[in-house]
Structure 1
Amino acid sequence: MVSGLRRLRPGGAEGVAGGFDRRLLAPMMLGAVLNPVNSSIISVSLVPIGAAFGAPPSETAWLISSLYLATSIGQPVVGRLIDLFGPRRLFLAGTALTGIAGVVGMLAPNLAVLVAARVLLGFGTCAGYPAAMYLIRSESKRTGHKSPAGVLTALAVTTQTIAVIGPGLGGLLIGAGGWRATLAVNIPLAAAGLCLGARRIPATPTFRREDGRHPVSDLDLPGMGLFAAALVCLLLFLMNPGGGDWYLLVLTAAAAAGFTWRELRARQPFIDVRVLGGNLPLLATYTRTLLCYVVTYAFLYGYTQWTEQGRGLSPSQAGLVQLPLFATAIVVSTLTGRRRAVRGKLLAGATGQIIACALLFLLNAHSPVWMLLMVVIVLGVPQGLNNLALQNAVFHQADGERMGSSAGLLRTFGYLGAIIASAASGSFFGERADTGGLHHLAAFMLAVSVLFLAVTVADRSLRRIGADGADETSADPRTDPPPDAKDER
């Protein structure tokens, strides 16, 4: 609870006594998939968009990075707002912005406007996942269930299901209405989200300060601004690391130092770096998330571009080739979802990524389709294990009072990985996604996968998640901040 605030009982749908309120599932799932569906559809749209605007892969990579730049900044910001004010208003506002972005993208006359539409999509899709994690935590506290493993698994499987549908759906939409149809799909999704959110998410809790001040005064706007500045400078550098813009790293370091200084002194910090710094297991999870998503998104974007340009498949065929990856991930997540322990999943997931990256070296412009499918099936196993394990780790390691912002940071680190992957794909492919570029990208992915495995092996705290008798609704007591530290917030 925020110091000096008193939360009133929310008006709206009450939970079902004794169990998770299943009326919340539909808006939770729909909100959480808005970002993944745009991520997966764009993977088969990059080549047609590049052809339409005469842009090489190094330029169309901005369609990926612009969305993740906006979302990397917006996720923890919106997550913090959700922590303070509840999920309803943020969910509805974000969903509406997603629909607007769909209209702008559908009508985009050039690549610059299309990139702007992707930025709007990034901000619009920020609220879905933090809102879902907030609602899961709230329901867990209400029902007294220590670990809603089934709901967490459903959330992971839903996002992976959308990833299954995304490439194939993207190919079908391109075949039926061109690449603009892949942006227009956000309009009906946003309409459905607005309807479900308004009807089923409880009314936003009302806060009152004991001193009569509005709680918006507790927002750490300088901290949010410095956080955004540091991310923008870093990600601009990552998009063109060989361009000589080293001053961006200096600006990143300066903004990060200013952010840390501000957060250590703020009465209500945007990100409590003192508490976060004391939670080393959570920091390790964020690091693993970045490394894992570098490989995941390098494969999603780089491999898909290569199947179209290096192997000669159509966008529809390239989308169909991706289907076994996500289908395998769904099966793996479903079979292992109720097992609360995460260490074994992460070890197996890291090993699976290493094997999948190694298989990429066997591919060439004449590889048979069965080899293309074999690679994606192998990668599907770690895809199903890693996503669920990382999500569960944050749920158990994070401070419950900051679940929204902690979940947002998880996505931020994932999107940092996605931007690094996008920059790597643009760098290794240059003007065309050929087989030589794929092999160079595979070497990069293999190195990251080995580092992911090393970080996981070294983290002994993972053994406690899912251990018998552990309280799985809070961070480990040995890394939790003392009560007085929480009271200071």
Structure 2
Amino acid sequence: MARTGMRVRQRFDRRLIAPMVLGSALNPVNSSMLAVALVPIGIAFGAPPSETAWLVTGLYLATAVGQPVIGRLVDAFGPRPLYLLGTGLVGVAGVLGVLAPRLWVLVLARVLLGFGTSAAFPASMSLLRTEAERTGMASPAGVLATLSASSQVISAIGPTLGGFLIGVGGWHLIFAINVPLSLACLALGWLWLPRTHRGGHHGIDVTGMALFAAALTSLMLFLMLPGLTTLPLAVVAVGLAALFARRELGMASPFLDLRVLAGNRPLLLTYLRQVLSYITAYAYLYGFTQWLEHGRGLSPQGAGLAMLPMSGAAILATAVTGRSARVRGKLVVGGVVQVLACLGLLVVDGSSPVWVLAGIGVLVGIPQGLNGLANQNALYAQADAERMGASAGLLRTCTYLGALVSAAVTAAFFHNGAGTAGLHGMSWLLLGVAGLLVVVSLADRSLRRVGAPTA
């Protein structure tokens, strides 16, 4: 029993973990399930890969724009209302996807999924910071690891789950599954998320948000279709970015405080590492999966099963290292193993045995379990507590910037089909990206302080 006059240390409210984990899983699982569904959806609608690619792009665009915008709204209005609105929208998008009569309606459903799934992660990071301050936890590494497992590792399970659902009831099930998931999130969020919030809604920079969204959308559309014909999109993106910067620098309460962000070099490097990490991760997730179906001749179910070693390795890496708040070692090891995985992709061909493909999957899975967790822990330590939602949203934006770059790379090298020559060409480029990740991680000395014991 605590003595009179002594401060009683409060415990973390573990009821929050279930809605945080389930809500944060919605985005990565929807992103990754589609990897094995693009071919059957294309067959169902008679659409070529150039059109089905918009199913990927639609979610990427909506998520990249939605995460920081909704994160800023979380900072202002609190996690609960944004969490409930977002997870409710996921259920609506799931119904629309099941009933979609045409491909472009299906693309709209993916866009709605992108916006709906953008709320849970910044809401969870905001809740985590509030609980840490209430309970006096300097670094809730265990809870952060659990949250990372829901967002980073579950993305590795997605292709296997997608292949299973397609085998059971066709591609419609990868949309239908969002309905029970949405209902579960709504129930958990309504019951257990706190109704109080210390922030206020004053100073919401709607114009800044609109300029940010327009600039980022223009940039990402250019990245999806780079070339002379789309070069005006890049010019528009630069112009809008300049207008956005000018406005934010002159605002008393900006959407993104660019002065603070520019002065936070460790956080900027964390964002850069996130982009680099996910260029390779998503190129493997979508590029290698397409090669398994086209170049190796596997079915969607077989391709999903072939991704199981990646899933297992990612889960194991997170489980083994998740309790430690230190990040530098995770990032260096993750980058080095990504280099080894890219070297492995250079030796496969249409006759490669299954054990070789499984071994490469393990090499890809280890960085998925390490890099996302480490960058999330780094952001938690580096970001301003009052803008944790927006900062966490920007981390997810960087994830999808990496994903869009990977999509552009995949489209370039698989222009004439997902053959082995294209896979090898893509692997050389990814090898350089993984090497740069190692260099950036080694050069960032501030990482030594993240998770280090404090007096």
Give the direction of change, closer, same or farther, for the CA distance of 1:161–1:236 in structure 2 (3 Å limit).
Answer: closer
CA offset digits 1:100-124 (Å, max 9, x no partner): 1111111112221111111000000
Deviates more, 1:255-264 or 1:243-252: 243-252
| Aligned counterparts, 1:348-359, within 5 A | 348-359=333-344
Structure 1 residue 437: deviation in Å? 1.3
Superposed, 1:77-476 pairs within 5 Å as 77-205=69-197, 216-242=201-227, 244-469=229-454
For the 8 Å contact 1:87–1:204, the answer to whether it is kept is: no
Greater mean deviation of Cα atoms: 51-60 or 301-310:
51-60
Letter of the structure 2 residue corresponding to residue 236 of structure 1: L
Aligned residue for 1:362, secondary structure, equals: coil
Deviations 1:314-361 (CA, angstroms, capped at 9, x unpaired):
111111111111211111111111222211111111111011011101
TM-score by length of 2: 0.96
Name 2:23's counterpart in structure 1. 31
Distance in 1 separating the partners of 2:438 and 2:420: 27
Displacement after TM superposition at 1:467 (Å): 2.2
* Counterpart residue identity of residue 404, structure 1: G
Question: Deviations 1:235-283 (Å, cap 9, x if unpaired)?
Answer: 1100111252111111111111111111111121000001011001000
Q: Contact (CA 8 Å) 2:139, 2:451: kept in 1 or not? A: no
Greater shift in the superposed pair: 59-68 or 409-418: 59-68
Report the Cα distance in structure 2 between the residues aligned to 1:111 and 1:286, rounded to whole angstroms: 34
Name the CA shift for 1:322/1:115 in 2 (closer, same or farther; >3 Å).
same
**CA distance 1:121–1:431, change in 2 (3 Å):** farther
Residue of structure 2 in register with 1:53 after alignment: 45
Segments of 5+ residues of structure 1 without an aligned counterpart are: 1-15, 208-214, 471-489
Question: How many Å separate the matches in 1 of 2:454 and 2:198?
Answer: 36
Aligned residues: 448
Matched position secondary structure for 2:66: helix
Aligned mates of 2:48, 2:412 — CA distance in 1: 11
User: Any idea what SS the aligned residue of 2:326 has?
Assistant: coil
Q: Which residue of 1 aligns with 2:3?
A: none
Q: How far apart, CA to CA, are the structure 2 residues paired with 1:132 and 1:426?
A: 34
DSSP 3-state at the match of 1:396 = helix
CA contact (8 A) 2:293 2:303 kept: yes
Amino acid of the residue matched to residue 345 of structure 1? Answer: K
Partners of 2:47 and 2:414 lie apart in 1 by 13
**Relative to 1, partners in 2 of residues 1:373 and 1:469: Cα closer, same or farther, differing over 3 Å?**
same
User: What secondary structure, in the 3-state scheme, does the structure 2 residue paired with 1:33 have?
Assistant: helix
Q: Which amino acid aligns with 2:20?
A: M
Letter matched to residue 129 of structure 1: F
Aligned residue for 2:307, secondary structure, equals: helix
Take 2:356 and 2:229, find their aligned partners in 1: how far apart are those partners? 39
Q: Letter of the aligned partner of 2:231 in structure 1?
A: W
Contact 1:72 1:411 in 2 (8 A): yes
| Aligned residue identity for 2:451 | G
Moved more, 69-78 or 158-167: 158-167
The answer to whether the 8 A contact 2:153-2:368 is kept is: no
- 1:424-483 deviation digits (Å, cap 9, x = unpaired): 11221124211111111111211111111121122111111122327xxxxxxxxxxxxx
CA distance in 2 between counterparts of 1:149 and 1:424 reads 35
Question: 440-449 or 76-85, which moves further after superposition?
Answer: 440-449
Instruction: State the partner residue of 1:482.
Output: none
Structure 1 Cα separation of the partners of residues 177 and 205 of structure 2: 35
Report deviation, 1:65.
1.4
For 1:415 and 1:29, locate their aligned partners in 2 and report how far apart those are by CA, in whole Å: 20
Given that 2:153 and 2:369 are in contact with CA atoms closer than 8 Å, whether structure 1 keeps it comes out as no
User: 1:438, 1:51 → 2: CA distance?
Assistant: 23
Secondary structure in structure 2 of the residue aligned to 1:350: helix
Task: State the one-letter code of the partner of 1:65.
Answer: T
CA offset at residue 52 of structure 1? 1.7
Aligned CA RMSD, in angstroms, stands at 1.5
Tell me whether 102-111 or 269-278 shows the greater mean CA deviation: 102-111
SS in 1 for 2:130: helix
What letter corresponds to residue 15 of structure 2 in structure 1?
Answer: R
Is the contact made by 1:76 and 1:406 (CA closer than 8 Å) also made in structure 2?
yes
CA distance in 2, matches of 1:278, 1:161: 32
Sequence identity (%) = 56
Q: Does the aligned pair in 1 maintain the 2:156–2:365 contact within 8 Å?
A: no
CA shift at 1:58, angstroms? Answer: 2.9
**How far is the alpha carbon of 1:216 from its aligned partner?**
4.1
